[in-house]
Copies of this chain bind each other. A is one copy, B any other.
Amino acid sequence: MRAWELQGFSLDELVLVERPVPEPGPREVLVRVLATALNSRDLQVIHDQYDPDQRLPLVPVSDGVGEIVAVGDEVGRVAVEDRVVGAFAQGWIAGERTWERWLTHLGGHRDGLLQEYALLDAEGTVRAPAYLGDAEAAAATSAAATAWQALVVQGGIHAGQTVLVQGTGGVALFALQFARLAGADVIVTSGHEEKLERALALGACAGINYRESADWDERVLELTGGVGVDHVVETAGDLARSLNCLRVGGLVSCVGYLGQLDLDAAGAPDWSYRTGIIPVLVKNARLQGLSAAPRESYEEMYRAMERARLRPPVERVFPFEEAVEALRYLKSGAHFGKVCVAGAAS
């Protein structure tokens, strides 16, 4: 079978190789990958900015959907022909994120889905909603589950609240959609007018172009009558401003840091992004760091998505052979919605 193998930490060292089709162990399943979806985290892995202990070679990409073609002896949860996604951390089924559970993540600690066939833990799979196409199902995985975990499971979002979503990346757009589903208002920031318009079309009640309003937090305060928002989904921005436009007692979900990392001359990330802590005290703010979600949250999320027939925006689906182009496109930041890659056999 064909697999994209990362042999060194650069996109140039991601190469298409031939590998034997693996056999599932007693509690594993083998899937034929139907589609994958790319995250900025995949680029971080490729550029060695994710895990200091990352080993190579590696098949990258955590998110995707596949059809089960073989199951181990003890597998009862799922069956051949089921169309399933793999939870980001295969061993994280329920409960809190522990290191033990975390160190099972696809396309990092284990081989990911950018290959023709892939092994998954039976317990680490979830049936994909039937109404979603392959690319959509691939798209609605770890970024979606992170947004669901932040807003619904740990955030207790409800009708009447207001959520600030920063940018239009993967987690941000799912946060927008899930907040709307919960009856909440959403304010979106972006540096691109056309992305703001698409966010409004997805249900945002207001968009703020931070290139035009550098003090976007003041704009958020205006929009909320001086009160501030109940929830910030902090994906890329400036925590000081997020805290400034948070209501007293509000919640900031820290799910990303892209905008905060500068690369030094050698291309290494600068981890020193810092923020003031006084506002946490003054605002009685709550902050929570999140990364993906347990399998249980995927199941709950799919129940909600299925009933609402919620469709994730997919920007573009690249052929399997053009996975490197897809990753470069993601890197360009031009997209609105997920960048996907078709399965090898498509």
Contacts and interface: CB of A to CB of B under 8 A. Distances in A.
Contacts of A93: 93-95
A248 B159 contact: no
Interface string A282-312: 1111111111001010001111111110000
B277 A160 contact: no
Contacts of A256: 281
A118 B27 CA distance: 21
Contacts of A248: 96-99, 102
A254 B271 contact: no
A307 B290 CA distance: 29
A287 B287 contact: yes
A294 B283 CA distance: 16
A249 B97 contact: yes
A289 B251 CA distance: 11
A346 B273 CA distance: 54
A163 to B, nearest CB: 12
A209 interface: no
A281 B289 contact: yes
Contacts of A7: none
Contacts of A286: 286-289
A291 B300 contact: no
Contact of A152 (B96, B158, B271): B158
B308 A280 contact: no
Interface stretch (A181-189, A194-202, A335-343): A181-189
A333 interface: no
Given A26-B26, A160-B301, A275 B277 contact: yes
B156 A182 contact: no
Contact of A156 (B156, B285, B301): B156
A272 interface: yes
A130 interface: no
B281 A277 contact: no
Contact of A158 (B185, B278, B304): B304
A74 interface: yes
Contact of A257 (B98, B99, B277): B277
Given A156-B156, A282-B291, A285-B288, 4 more contacts: A25-B74, A99-B248, A158-B300, A284-B291
13 contacts: A25-B74, A94-B96, A95-B95, A95-B296, A156-B156, A158-B304, A160-B303, A161-B303, A182-B183, A183-B304, A257-B278, A271-B276, A275-B277
Interface of A: 25-27, 74, 77, 93-100, 102, 152, 156-161, 178, 181-183, 185, 239, 248-249, 254-257, 260, 271-291, 294, 296, 300-308
- In order of increasing CB-CB distance, the 8 nearest A-B pairs are A94-B95, A160-B304, A160-B303, A159-B304, A274-B274, A280-B289, A94-B94, A287-B287
